[in-house]
Structure 1
Amino acid sequence: MKTRTAVIYEPGTPIRVEEIELDTPKEQEVLVRMVAAGVCHSDYHVVKGDLPAYLPMALGHEGAGIVEQVGPGVSDLKPGDHVLMSFIPACGSCPSCVSGHSNLCDKGAGTLSGPLLDGTFRMHGEKGDIGQFCYIGSFSEYTVVPAMSVVKIADYYPLNRAVLVSCGVPTGVGSVIHRARVTPGSTVMVIGCGGIGMNIVQGAAIAGARMIIAVDIHDFKLEKAKEFGATHTINSSQEDPVNKALELTWGVGVDYAFEAIATPETIAQAFNATAKNGTVVVAGLSPFLAQAIPISPLNLVLYQKTLMGTLFGDSQPRNDIPMLLRMYESGKIKLDELVTRTYKLDQINEAYDDLLAGRNIRGVIEFS
């Protein structure tokens, strides 16, 4: 069948929206008609060339849609099911999955390699095979994905809002709840208040932190952070975030610092703003060539700090996606407020221009 898809052919060039050929699903795969796709910075790493990946690549990994067809061996999904994408598949049987960390499933190791899990391609263009970012390629009217990469949800959730629970919300909230395990009454700092950082802010509020310091260079994002639970804001283009955080905590530092920009410099800021026995969590993707963090190994020991990374917020998508949607339903999680603007597929480059300029918390592609 034919489908219109957003494809990157060379780093540093605009994303192209074009009609391509899409195969039917094979063993343990499903065909999904996309309804919405979130515009996440992770895809832009491929566009910019920060992450080495197969090219050409169909972009998009945060997605929501409706199952149109199931391949052989698929027994738990059927046409008409509403689903969210999980950019890390969950096989359920590898060591990570059985130990409760399906966000690190062994099947996710090839998410930048291009083909689907069986090593073959479902998308094809005039110049040959087209890879699918994270096995998904959600910036497409239709896509074929592994059945283990989708999570069925109730059909009464609006898919153009539920889509955010496909990546940004579980990554941010999970970083707080699962990875750092923020305690009630603690102090928190969040560097970077985009799609991931804003969900860290609201995760910290849910966890009961008494002080939540939001840091960004855009006043628009800092004002929004207050809506999600931030008690203090710092524009790091105007004042030093470390000094200000120490001032706000009477020279002690914060109990937990989250870094959602993923540059060596901002990771160091998070580390230096953290108190003795504090925890630093890095939630963003750094460029492939960034190989060092300018922190003091001596202070790591003398101040007994913990520095950790997190992927997908250490979430288990089959458990956490339905849970987060129930929290949205009960008013405990904000989704509507995260969406700054919606776009059509043909506006994909405009959507990324807005993201890079700091004009969006989350942009969403809506398919008609």
Structure 2
Amino acid sequence: MTQSIEVHAAVYRGDNGDRLTVEPLLLAAPEHGEVRIAVRAAGVCGSDRHVIDGEWNVPLPAVMGHEAAGVVEAIGAGVRELAVGDHVIVAWHQACQRCAECTGGKPWACMRVKSNDSQLPDGTTRWQTLDGDAAWPYLAVGAMSDHIVVPDFAAIKVDERVPFDVASLIGCSVGTGYGAVVNNAKVVAGESAVVVGAGGVGLSIISALRLAGANPITAVDVTEEKLEEARRVGATHGLLGGAELAESVAALTAGGADVAFEAIGRIGTMEQLPGLLRPGGRAVFVGLPPEGLELRLDALQLAYDGKTIIGSNYGGLVPARDFPRVAAAYLSGELPLDDLISSRVALEQVNDAFDAMRRGERTRSVIVFEGAE
């Protein structure tokens, strides 16, 4: 077993506003059932922004990032399904693999999961500061680092033809959008759909809706630029959000959409969602809001019209099943995922990437590490 190695990572300490510092840390060798991955690409996701903007609480100091793709570099004892040199996508929701939910095909509903608390399955971390204090990988991944250690079942082997930047997004934004359509809403060909929010997850939902044969597909955002991006990946119509949104959607869909997705995590737009539906329609909450907020919905509208509210946790993904499916759809040309990446940056530019996200200037930034080509 190799010793700890020094890595460079984007760390949030909570004492410098919303700024991350790129600094050296120590990463222990993989233990039983774990693998070390040389990260080649890491997505810059809104969930990370919730943390560094003080809206979600996590153990500190935190190694940020949870969308990762890379190459297996070392394996611990007991690892049999992976080998050094394998290309992998990392799953951040690291379910226990043993409970009734996991064995019943719903790992996203696992109640024993520890990765939400930035812990590996044994409740610990493999990270340390140079001073010897524990550091915690966000969602048990810590993707914004040149190397990470994760459980072997969280590293899903992927076809080597998938570029690392695209593969990293399959691990969260693309996988979540695909899963929301296929697993949660179970969209069938010919159904009408509305997607509120044309960021990275929203565009992933639109791409999956096109793959599923939904029609029409209406994108909603606050800028024409974002709506143009949505049309490029599959939206048939684009609407600017506002007070008349429900009437506009009804006119496009002959009375309301069959299914509507909220991909922002804003209370106001989440409350609008049921009003965009026809009777019997499904509202899918995909975006994640800050902690502690409550929704106000018209209960009579939901009951009388038979509308359904669906919560989407990680798109209901089964990573070992769904990641390869998404990768295959990309390789066949059915999912044009390259269009979702607006910029590729170095690790040292991570704060600039988050600032651009706050300004709504980018669809998805991806941090690219050495060896990604």
TM-score category (smaller protein): over 0.9
Q: Residue 170 of structure 1 aligns with which residue?
A: 175
Q: What are the Cα deviations for residues 202-227 of structure 1, in whole angstroms up to 9, with x where unaligned?
A: 11111111211101112221101101
Q: Residue 243 of structure 1 aligns with which residue?
A: 247
- What is the Cα deviation at residue 90 of structure 1? 4.0
Counterpart selection for 1:280 from 283, 306, 316: 283
Superposed, 1:307-326 pairs within 5 Å as 307-326=309-328
CA distance in 2, matches of 1:256, 1:146: 36
Q: Residue 75 of structure 1 aligns with which residue?
A: 80
**Structure 1 residues 114 and 208: CA distance shift in structure 2, 3 A:** closer
| Amino acid in the other structure paired with 1:136 | V
Counterpart selection for 1:8 from 8, 12, 15: 12
Q: What are the Cα deviations for residues 184-239 of structure 1, in whole angstroms up to 9, with x where unaligned?
A: 212111001111111111111111112111011122211011011111111216x6
Q: Residue 119 of structure 2 aligns with which residue?
A: 115
Q: Residue 299 of structure 1 aligns with which residue?
A: 301
**Aligned-CA RMSD value:** 1.5
| Amino acid in the other structure paired with 1:277 | G
Is 1:57 paired with 2:62?
yes
Q: Residue 272 of structure 2 aligns with which residue?
A: 269
**2:94, 2:115 within 8 Å by CA — same for their partners in 1?**
no
CA distance in 2, matches of 1:230, 1:149: 32
**1:55, 1:114 within 8 Å by CA — same for their partners in 2?**
no
**2:119, 2:139 within 8 Å by CA — same for their partners in 1?**
no
Counterpart selection for 1:97 from 87, 102, 113: 102
Q: Residue 348 of structure 2 aligns with which residue?
A: 346
The total of aligned residue pairs comes to 364
**2:216, 2:253 within 8 Å by CA — same for their partners in 1?**
no
- What is the Cα deviation at residue 126 of structure 1? 4.1
**1:30, 1:67 within 8 Å by CA — same for their partners in 2?**
yes
| Amino acid in the other structure paired with 2:184 | R
Is 1:258 paired with 2:261?
yes
**Structure 1 residues 13 and 353: CA distance shift in structure 2, 3 A:** closer
CA distance in 1, matches of 2:189, 2:324: 24
**1:37, 1:138 within 8 Å by CA — same for their partners in 2?**
yes
- What is the Cα deviation at residue 265 of structure 1? 1.1
CA distance in 2, matches of 1:282, 1:318: 24
Q: Residue 232 of structure 2 aligns with which residue?
A: 227
CA distance in 1, matches of 2:260, 2:140: 32
Runs (4 or more) in structure 1 with deviation over 3 Å come to: none
CA distance in 2, matches of 1:82, 1:63: 11
| Amino acid in the other structure paired with 1:352 | F
Gaps of 5+ in 1: none
- What is the Cα deviation at residue 275 of structure 1? 1.0
TM-score computed with the length of structure 1 as normaliser: 0.95
**2:177, 2:208 within 8 Å by CA — same for their partners in 1?**
yes
| Amino acid in the other structure paired with 1:179 | N
Q: Residue 360 of structure 1 aligns with which residue?
A: 362
Q: What are the Cα deviations for residues 46-98 of structure 1, in whole angstroms up to 9, with x where unaligned?
A: 11121121111101111001111111211111211111100112443221221
Structure 1 SS opposite 2:301: helix
Stretch moving more, 115-124 or 223-232: 115-124
TM-score computed with the length of structure 2 as normaliser: 0.94
| Amino acid in the other structure paired with 1:173 | Y
